[in-house]
A and B are shown apart, each in its own frame.
Chain A
């Protein structure tokens, strides 16, 4: 698994609905355009929410990693 450079890390495990999407929406605004946010989640719904959120908000999931029961999204701020 390659080490990915990121500007900010968000722990979004075990959060109530709809906090994962709320937090990532906020978090992405805290990095500069072109920078990457790493978001860690375990919730199955988040696995569909994040791609749908990226599509809607115009950001890009550059990589998805899975390890020890959790999923890490690397999301690049595009605008």
Chain B
């Protein structure tokens, strides 16, 4: 590696050294308690998949450039310089971690492996060794934010085409738009994904609850966060923040996408609007009696998306919803905080076929957990998890049905 690149990477590393990060880097006692917590390790017991081992890959470089011991006695901490080989290790460590933070529940100190992996991801970006597709996806999102006027027309036409499908499932009063866009002064801005499946059921429920809502031009997902680029993460989020401010909404509701929910909730800063997840909104409608539902037959279980539950605190709402709309609900893990990650987070699902083999091998424990739940339908509230769960279902021949919570709720709606 050239000296100039190395200097640049060390500088990038330095930008990540917040107080929290220093604590994460300097506290680990390598006790190994976190080892069985990681689904990758639990499914494939190789040392390189142990959380603390991944973290050490980053820590070794930290020691070499930022600590006294690493500079003067590198052998003690196995401090290592930044080399091409080190980059390769960083890549393997970072892109075999889904950022689920289950290991953090086990660690006696609460060391945040996801945060440590964000350093690895940033160094990979700096060395132009980050997964190309994730960078491209992030750039596409940013480009859309910069020139939304150019793309607006196509989007509006696409939305028009969906309206009949929305009305077919829930009749709106004459004069009401089934999928409103650009409504200034709306109460809620709904930020969906590209797919119709993230718009139609949500629209049906909004209309049933007579929500004063408007659909965002942008997709919620934040590829900047997946690739680990703080600058791009903020740019992609800012598109939505600006739109919300322009329309003057009271709430920004994020669709069923774990990363999007966490990023929007935790990085939007202090704003005149609140950020909520679709699941929270749906639970509220039920609580306030704004929608009426029936119970659907069949046994259901719920997969907690890590970024929404363990890392976002939304545990009760999905259970409250399912309690009202299904006859038979079965928990997957006795304590949802310990739910296994699906194995698709951190950009792995977005990398598509390239990561499929690893995703399947690392999710053996998840497959077992789903099988043992003995439910026929696996419900979840995250696009990423949904895709991964479908893949697991097929790969392990589980014979389940995988459904979005929002679409299940739309199915359960009854007329008042």
Contact = CB atoms under 8 A, between A and B. Distances in A.
A69 B161 contact: yes
A53 B144 CA distance: 9
Interface of B: 133, 136-137, 139-141, 143-144, 147-148, 150-152, 154-155, 157-159, 161-162, 192-199, 217, 219, 221, 223, 257, 350-352, 383, 386-387
A18 B217 CA distance: 16
A47 B140 CA distance: 13
Contact of B350 (A18, A42, A48, A52): A18
A31 interface: no
Given A44-B159, A52-B151, 18 more contacts: A14-B196, A17-B198, A17-B383, A18-B137, A20-B194, A22-B137, A22-B350, A25-B133, A42-B196, A43-B195, A43-B196, A44-B155, A44-B162, A45-B193, A47-B154, A47-B158, A53-B136, A56-B143
A46 interface: yes
A10 interface: no
Contacts of B219: 17, 45, 49
Given A16-B383, A22-B352, A43 B140 contact: no
Contacts of B199: 44
Contacts of B161: 42, 44, 69
A71 B157 CA distance: 10
A69 to B, nearest CB: 6
A5 B151 CA distance: 25
25 contacts: A16-B383, A16-B386, A17-B221, A19-B352, A22-B137, A25-B133, A43-B158, A43-B195, A44-B159, A44-B199, A46-B194, A47-B151, A47-B154, A47-B158, A48-B158, A48-B217, A49-B194, A51-B150, A51-B151, A52-B147, A56-B143, A57-B140, A64-B154, A66-B157, A69-B161
B139 A56 contact: yes
A14 B197 contact: yes
A55 interface: yes
Contacts of B157: 47, 66
B140 A21 contact: yes
B257 A17 contact: yes
Contacts of B257: 17
Contacts of B144: 48-49, 52
Contact of B140 (A52, A66, A69): A52
> Is chain A's interface secondary structure helix, strand, loop, or mixed overall?
helix
Interface string A27-64: 00000000000000011111111011101110000001
Nearest to B223: A18
A14 B195 contact: yes
A78 interface: no
A53 B133 CA distance: 11
Contacts of B147: 52, 55
Nearest to B138: A56
Contacts of A69: 161
B346 to A, nearest CB: 14
Contact of B192 (A14, A45, A53): A45
A28 to B, nearest CB: 11
A21 B136 CA distance: 9
A28 B185 CA distance: 42
